[in-house]
Amino acid sequence: MAYLKLTKNTYSAKPKDFERKWYVVDAEGQVLGRLATSLATVLRGKHKAIYTPSMDTGDFIIVINAEKVVLTGDKENQKVYYRHSGYPGGLTETAYLDLKNCRPEQIVMNAVRGMLPKNRLGSAMLCKLHVYAGSEHPHTAQQPEPLKFEG
């Protein structure tokens, strides 16, 4: 019996094969979860035809107006963020409204971090996300393009 010889090989992106773009996203009035899934998709590079799971093919994203992101339902009063110091009794709870008052950019960062891989590659992808509470950002030299999401 003759063996089948496959002529098509699986494409794997190399760092020289792709270029990274800069995008700016206005988070005003956007639902947090839907915004975070869209941001994670662009950070991973899944919107590109050359997406490779083991490579960081994503683009840079600047998020402005993070303080104006919205939550659905009664999550604004019920949502709690947890972190642990690693020591016994080191659990710290922070309510959503408290975090929104002191560090609103952390809300978007936490939501996107939860949707990225939990490894070194995910950490590298998160470094390409720049979140700002207000409408100003210091990345005008990169000439970011506006990015619109449906929904």
Cβ atoms within 10 Å, residue 31: 14
Over 80: is that where the pLDDT of 1 sits?
no
What pLDDT is attached to residue 5?
58
Each residue's pLDDT tens digit, 21-55: 999 999 999 999 999 999 999 999 999 988 999 99
Whether domain 20-70+102-146 has CATH 3.90.1180.10: the reply is yes
* pTM over 0.85, yes/no: yes
3-class secondary structure, 25: strand
What residue segments make up the domains of the chain, in order of their start? Answer: 20-70+102-146
**70-106, pLDDT tens digit by residue?**
999 999 999 999 999 999 999 999 999 999 999 999 9
Write the single-letter amino acid at 112. V
Pair of tokens at residue 11: 């494409």
Task: With a cut of 60, say whether residue 151 has pLDDT above it.
Answer: no
Higher pLDDT, 2 or 124: 124
pLDDT value, residue 12? 83
